[in-house]
Amino acid sequence: MFDPTLSRRALLGAAAAALVPASHMAHAAKTQLLRISTPAVADDWHAKMWTVFKEQLDKQAPGQFEVQINLNGSLFKQGAEAVALARGNLELASISAFDIAKVVPAFSLFTAGYMLRDPAHLMAVMGGPIGADLYKEVSAKMDITVLSPLYLGTRQLNLRQKREVKTPADLKGVKLRMPSTKEWLLLGNALGATATPLAFGEVYLGLKTGTIDAQDNPLPTTKSAKFYEVTQQITLTNHLVDSLFIVVSNKLWQGLPAQEQQRLKSAAQAAALYNNTQRMADEKNLLAFFESQGLRVTTPDVAAFRTAVHNAYAGSELAKQWPAGLAERVAAVR
């Protein structure tokens, strides 16, 4: 229906816009859009960290950046972010070692089970000279710049039904959901299960309906994505100290003045620190929560899993692509 008040307001708005001084228009045009895409659910720490990122930028450079946070893979689906960044269709994302390994084979070392000891080891490796060298290769080959590594958590098995799981042999025939790349499938099979590819957004329903028997994720994600509602057991395999990398498109990065680069980097580091702190605290406390929800928490023979996984990787095509001595250098980092 025709609303005279609205139309008068609209006309006044248009008139006011026409009177905006040119200097202000120039300022408005300078605002840099930062599109972020992540498959993470709103409640997970690596989704919430982007608000920390945004708040820090808004404080340090008011009006300079427009930060647009897209969750649940709503802008780009899981795994598609790196290509979108390289093409300049996306400015920022948190991508995994698995995503990077598709283009930089050395990175697949960090997709291997039982390679990193704990979050401190991960951050020391990725924040030190090994990380710095690899990031140069990432920038050259993928057209993205790593602003900060972060800790996604230590991956644990989460089963739809209760089951005795002591060694990898006990997972024979278990359809263990993994993301779809060959590096992920290798990990799932190395654990003794039948790795079954499925996107993150479909895991809840897959567990509910029984198209898959299990999934593996760090405990904070098993909570935030509510997988505990449709599963009965958590088995503490600790098989992967998992990482993500906050990355920015070189199309944006290389055109930014040094001060703005510094602001983005510092906001990314603040976001990563927030994520890491919250996540590690959660990992200490969540088992009690899962038990209160009726899940059984079990401890398998981790040494048996470690040996089987190491053997599986030792004979793999993937390991042939690891630069000589890199695994030893990683292990020596304290």
Question: Which residues of the shown chain bind ligand KDO in the complex (CB under 6 A)?
Answer: 38-40, 44, 46, 78, 96, 98, 179, 200, 217, 221
Choice between 108 and 260, CB closer to ligand KDO: 108
Q: Shortest distance, CB of residue 300 to ligand KDO, whole angstroms?
A: 20
CB burial of 97-117 (b: ≥16 within 10 Å; e: otherwise) equals bbbbbbbbbbbbbbbbbbbbb
CA–CA separation, 94 vs 276, rounded Å? 14
Q: Shortest distance, CB of residue 116 to ligand KDO, whole angstroms?
A: 15
CA–CA separation, 269 vs 273, rounded Å? 6
Choice between 153 and 300, CB closer to ligand KDO: 153
CA–CA separation, 290 vs 226, rounded Å? 11
Residue linked to tokens 């990398």: 245
Choice between 187 and 295, CB closer to ligand KDO: 187
Q: Shortest distance, CB of residue 55 to ligand KDO, whole angstroms?
A: 21
Contacts of 200 (CB under 8 A, 6+ apart): 39, 73, 78, 179, 225
CA–CA separation, 94 vs 275, rounded Å? 12
Q: Shortest distance, CB of residue 152 to ligand KDO, whole angstroms?
A: 6
CA–CA separation, 12 vs 8, rounded Å? 6
Choice between 39 and 119, CB closer to ligand KDO: 39
Q: Shortest distance, CB of residue 195 to ligand KDO, whole angstroms?
A: 12
Give the Cβ contact number of residue 298 at 10 Å.
Answer: 17
3-state class (DSSP) for residue 316? coil
CA–CA separation, 288 vs 290, rounded Å? 6
Residue linked to tokens 């008040």: 5
Give the ranges where the chain is alpha helix by DSSP (H): 4-18, 22-30, 45-60, 81-87, 97-101, 119-126, 129-142, 182-190, 203-209, 219-224, 250-253, 258-292, 302-314, 317-320, 326-332
CB closest to ligand KDO, residue no: 96
Cβ burial, residue 229 (10 Å; 0-12/13-18/19+): exposed
Choice between 106 and 199, CB closer to ligand KDO: 199
Choice between 110 and 200, CB closer to ligand KDO: 200
What Å distances lie between residue 190 and 109, 195, 239, CA to CA? 14, 9, 10
Choice between 40 and 116, CB closer to ligand KDO: 40
3-state class (DSSP) for residue 332? helix
Q: Shortest distance, CB of residue 2 to ligand KDO, whole angstroms?
A: 48
Closest CA to 246 of 118, 89, 126: 126
Q: Shortest distance, CB of residue 192 to ligand KDO, whole angstroms?
A: 18
Choice between 218 and 300, CB closer to ligand KDO: 218
Choice between 34 and 71, CB closer to ligand KDO: 71
